[in-house]
Amino acid sequence: MAQLTALLVSLLTLVLSISGVISTTFTIINKCEYTVWPGILSIGRSPAMSTTGFALQNGESMTITAPTSWAGRFWGRTNCSQDSTGKFSCVTGDCGSGKIECSGNGSAMPATLAEFTLGGAGGFDFFDVSLVDGYNLPMKVVPEGGTDQNCPSVGCLADLNDSCPSELKVTSADADGNVACKSACMAFNQSKYCCTGAYSFPSTCKPSRYSQIFKSACPQAYSYAYDDKTSTFSCASANYTISFCPTRKFLTPDRITPIRR
């Protein structure tokens, strides 16, 4: 009887998810003291999100409903501005579209990424916070209402700007000081850091001195391409909150202002 009930429940879940009734929402919150322009890129055959880029002032949030089986990534752009010709660009995380919307363009490295595959194997959502393309902002992903034993809050809360080794540092005159930290792959373009060529296997591409700096600052985040074991998480039927500078400022929920578009 219990088995039959379980079967019916899973059939119902399947029907609901196929018909798109179960949907996933992402709430993006900016807790940084400055404005962040989130960017969103859909990957693979995933349908696009309703928006691919917008601005969030300190304390603002935006909730987006994802298409079924969406896969893609979120990141934050900082120090964005529009020049006299109307071209929009950012000091970090720029997507090269020239506009606030990224429209299918990804982020310029370095940028901290939150990556998702919704409704993947076994119906689970898989997600991670990645420093494989470097670091620009602290980020945290908090699943809400999800199940599965491997469904924790995941983030990179450290300020890797300052602990970044000097050979990986990105500085900007526009933003007084260190604005981001490159990955070793980006800085040196060598196979052993990029996990390419002879190093394109988990058995041959090992953590480096540089990836270990990222890993010790942010143990839950991907520090190099084959860092899966400690960096991939999964939830079933969750919604997700993604925050920038999660610990920077303590904002109570009523101080978070949803924005309307």
CB-based contact 53:38 (threshold 8 Å): yes
CB 121, CB 211: distance < 8 Å: no
**Range in contact with ligand NAG (rule: CB under 6 A) among 46-54, 112-120, 174-182, 218-226:** 174-182
Which stretch, 82-90, 173-181, 215-223, 250-258, contacts ligand NAG (CB under 6 A)?
173-181
Determine which residue in the list 52, 79, 107, 231 makes contact with ligand NAG, applying CB under 6 A. 79
Query: Judged by CB under 6 A, which of 6, 11, 34, 87 binds ligand NAG?
Result: 34
Residue 50 engages ligand NAG in binding (rule: CB under 6 A): no
**Is 183 one of the binding residues for ligand NAG (CB under 6 A)?**
no
Report 231-260 residues binding ligand NAG (CB under 6 A). 237-239
Helix, strand, coil share (%) of the chain residues, nearest 5: 20, 30, 45
Helix (H) or strand (E) holding 209: helix 209-217
Is the CB of residue 109 less than 8 Å from the CB of residue 134? Answer: yes
State the sign of the Cα–Cα–Cα–Cα dihedral 102, 67, 25, 110. Answer: negative
How many residues in the shown chain lie near ligand NAG by CB under 6 A?
Answer: 22
Structure tokens at 40: 């969103």
d(CA 116, CA 234): 9
- What 3-state DSSP class applies to 8? helix
Please choose, out of 37-45, 50-58, 170-178, 200-208, the segment that lies near ligand NAG by the rule CB under 6 A: 170-178
Q: Is residue 174 a contact residue for ligand NAG (CB under 6 A)?
A: yes
Taking the CA atoms of residue 32, residue 38, residue 44 and residue 47 in that order, the dihedral angle to the nearest 10 degrees is: 130
Q: Is 177 in the site for ligand NAG (CB under 6 A)?
A: yes
- Nearer to ligand NAG by Cβ, of 43 and 228: the residue is 43
Residue 159 as a binder of ligand NAG (CB under 6 A): the answer is yes
The upper half-sphere exposure of residue 192, i.e. CA atoms within 13 Å in the direction of its Cβ, equals 5
Instruction: Tell me the residue length of the chain.
Output: 261
Residue nearest to ligand NAG (CB): 145
- Residue 178 found at the interface with ligand NAG (CB under 6 A): yes
- Contact code string over 81-100 relative to ligand NAG, x by CB under 6 A: ---------------xx---
DSSP code, position 22? S
Interface mask toward ligand NAG for 132-151; x: CB under 6 A: -----x------xx------
Interface positions with ligand NAG (CB under 6 A): 25, 34, 78-79, 96-97, 103, 105, 137, 144-145, 159, 161-162, 174-175, 177-178, 189, 237-239
